[in-house]
Amino acid sequence: MTGRLDNRVAVVFGAGSVGEGWGNGKAAAVLYAREGAKVACVDLNPAAAEATRAIIEAEGGTAIAFEANVTQFDTIRAVVDGTLDAWGQIDVLHNNVGTNSQGGPIDTSEAEWDRVMDINLKSMFLTCKAVLPVMEEQRRGSIVNISSLASIRYLGFNYISYYASKAAVNHFTRAVALQYADKGIRANTVLPGLMDTPHIYEAMKAHYSDFTEMREKRAAASPMKRMGDGWDIAHAALFLASDEAKYITGIDLPVDGGLHCKTN
């Protein structure tokens, strides 16, 4: 099926990828464009935003690249203004940016806790603050926030700031969903499980010196005995962003091969 986002404008924060290949945000930005959306590709790394924009344009889609930091409201504001100048509307807000930091309550510094909270949680507050007035005026919009299975499960790693920030993302999203439910605006989260994306080779290097071992362990932990990938997250996001999900708001959608059902 194509054209599921025809005449729509999507803003994807974190539309690049930290490494070669397909991260969750890059795949979502490209998939939105394949389905007809004009896409604002936003990233802290301008080369990463530009790379995604170039892929979309090479496929015949429409995209603009923006450099912005999701922890700084003025740069988010500039993205919203630039997108409205170009296309006059914002229908999909996709918040993909997230980081993690190893450590429990004792060994995580206050500064590190604040950094993770700012990137994972405050970012979503700031992008919603900038985009919701646009959506409210349009009486139309879908917000897709990328959380994590770690928001509802202890995954065996001590990254307390990640668990806490992602759990807060879920309830932040529910509160937005309910406040705006009668205004044509929906808000949902996607909870990636154990995905094979460039992100994990950065985020998990503290736990694994051997990436083959990491891949094997992550695959073995999955009920499907394999990891998912960025496209699995992108397809879930596309569904939530599109009108096919027009009666769905406030949900947390695990995309994890069933891992959330496991008890051990």
197 near ligand NAD (CB under 6 A): yes
Instruction: Work out which of 61, 103, 192, 254 binds ligand NAD, going by CB under 6 A.
Output: 192
Token pair 């969903």 is at which residue?
Answer: 177
Q: How far apart are CA 121 and CA 125, in angstroms?
A: 7
Q: How many residues bind ligand NAD (CB under 6 A)?
A: 30
101 near ligand NAD (CB under 6 A): no
The residue among 9 and 15 lying less far from ligand NAD, judged by its C-beta, is 15
Is 133 exposed, middle or buried, given 0-12, 13-18 or 19+ CB atoms closer than 10 A?
exposed
Instruction: Give me the least distance between CB of 235 and ligand NAD, in Å please.
Output: 14
Beta bridge partners of 94: 12, 144
The residues assigned a catalytic role are: 162
Supply the DSSP symbol for 113.
Answer: H
CA angle at residue 263 from 258 to 264, to 5 degrees?
Answer: 105
Q: How far apart are CA 253 and CA 190, in angstroms?
A: 5
Q: Tell me, residue by residue from 120 to 159, as one string, x for binding to ligand NAD by CB under 6 A and - for no binding.
A: --------------------------x-x-----------
Sequence letter at residue 14? G
Give which of 242, 151, 245, 246 is closest to 191, Cα–Cα.
151
Instruction: Give me the least distance between CB of 189 and ligand NAD, in Å please.
Output: 10
Q: How far apart are CA 261 and CA 258, in angstroms?
A: 6
119 near ligand NAD (CB under 6 A): yes
The residue among 140 and 260 lying less far from ligand NAD, judged by its C-beta, is 260
Q: Tell me, residue by residue from 202 to 231, as one string, x for binding to ligand NAD by CB under 6 A and - for no binding.
A: ----------------------------x-
Supply the DSSP symbol for 252.
Answer: E
Instruction: Work out which of 31, 40, 41, 44 binds ligand NAD, going by CB under 6 A.
Output: 44
The residue among 3 and 123 lying less far from ligand NAD, judged by its C-beta, is 123
Give which of 69, 81, 62 is closest to 9, Cα–Cα.
62
Residues in touch with ligand NAD (CB under 6 A) = 13-14, 16-18, 23-25, 43-45, 48, 68-71, 96-98, 119, 146, 148, 192, 194-195, 197-200, 230
